[in-house]
Amino acid sequence: MQDVAAELVGVTQRYGQHVALRDVSLTLRRGEVVALLGPNGAGKTTAVKLLLGLLQPTTGVAKVFGASPKVAQTRMRMGAMLQVSKVPDTVKAREYVELFRCYYPKPMAYDEIVQRAGLKGIENKLLGSLSGGQRQRVLFGLAMCGDPDLIFLDEPTLGMDIEARHAVWAEVRRMRDAGKTVLLTTHYLEEADSLADRIVVIRTGEIVAEGTPREIKGNVAGRKIKCVTRLSVAELKRWPAVTEAEMHDTVTVVTTLAAEEVLRRMLAEDASLSGLEVSSPALEDAFLALTAEKEVL
């Protein structure tokens, strides 16, 4: 069994009357990248703050490396890049990184931070003069200062250009390969798909799905069969394994959780079927299905 790096156990978090998280249990194992996905206001930042010890759960327990995240020794092993982080405008990037390095007993070497966070060329600039993407890179560097075993990245690549984004992705993979644990929140589903070993989807304070990117995509949205067929959409919709069937111009698109079974039957019933294409759903399809507003009856 893999070691547990951090966990929320039966956590409910209230802000006054508002329930931001409801009985959430979440485990982060050592050496894995977990992406927390969910629409605005779902409770992602609240979960991160609980694990960082910035919030005390209303009920339930938050643990990091077997202890409270508020314990100083535990904090030293964590790094965080939060959306809300504010930086002073009149301090140079270099000075700020150096300051953060002082907080840790065994900080990462300055040059290593510069290289890993892509700070070359902006080290001597005032933080107030940096672009949004450059500022994000500095925040990424700050999160790495203590060479943490557990790192929280809240929307890390927001505003970054493609090159900077890919550099962050490479760095996250390097951390994982070094046995570190990464919790990532992102609205870029491609980012979660590409980086995460496991995805946890939250909707209105509750976990609604959890699994590898492949499982999340496969189990929820099914696969799509596209082809030209004389079978009618109305008929296809009546097949038990078909979730959805529609026509786009001359192409019929069938969504199903049992692609092989449906395909065999389609070929058996329409020998003239042509232009066949079977595709896995995008993570976006699964995400939209999982986080869709509950129907009001």
Ligand X SMILES: Nc1ncnc2c1ncn2[C@@H]1O[C@H](COP(=O)(O)OP(=O)(O)OP(=O)(O)O)[C@@H](O)[C@H]1O
Q: Where are the alpha helices (DSSP H) in the chain?
A: 44-51, 72-75, 93-102, 110-117, 132-144, 162-177, 189-195, 213-221, 233-238, 259-269, 283-291
Q: Per rule CB under 6 A, is residue 18 in the interface with ligand X?
A: yes
Q: Which lies closer to ligand X via its Cβ, residue 24 or residue 122?
A: 24
Neighbours of 238 (CB within 10 A): 9
Neighbours of 234 (CB within 10 A): 8
- Minimum Å distance from CB 36 to ligand X? 8
Considering only 15, 59, 68, 190, the residue that binds ligand X (CB under 6 A) is: 15
**Pairing outcome for strands 181-185 and 150-154:** parallel
DSSP type of residue 129:
G
Instruction: Tell me if 273 sits within 8 A of 185, measured CB to CB.
Output: no
Q: Per rule CB under 6 A, is residue 17 in the interface with ligand X?
A: no
The window from 37-45, 213-221, 263-271, 272-280 that contacts ligand X (CB under 6 A) reads 37-45
- Minimum Å distance from CB 159 to ligand X? 15
Considering only 11, 28, 44, 62, the residue that binds ligand X (CB under 6 A) is: 44
C-alpha radius of gyration, the chain, whole number: 23
Please work out the total of residues on this chain that contact ligand X, with binding judged by CB under 6 A.
Answer: 11
- Minimum Å distance from CB 40 to ligand X? 3
SS3 149: coil
- Minimum Å distance from CB 47 to ligand X? 7
Q: Which lies closer to ligand X via its Cβ, residue 50 or residue 286?
A: 50
Q: Per rule CB under 6 A, is residue 20 in the interface with ligand X?
A: yes
SS3 70: coil
Q: Per rule CB under 6 A, is residue 41 in the interface with ligand X?
A: yes
Q: Per rule CB under 6 A, is residue 290 in the interface with ligand X?
A: no
Q: Per rule CB under 6 A, is residue 46 in the interface with ligand X?
A: yes
CA 248 to the chain's CA centroid: 32
Contacts of 215 (CB under 8 A, 6+ apart): none
User: Which residues contact ligand X by CB under 6 A?
Assistant: 15, 18, 20, 38, 40-46
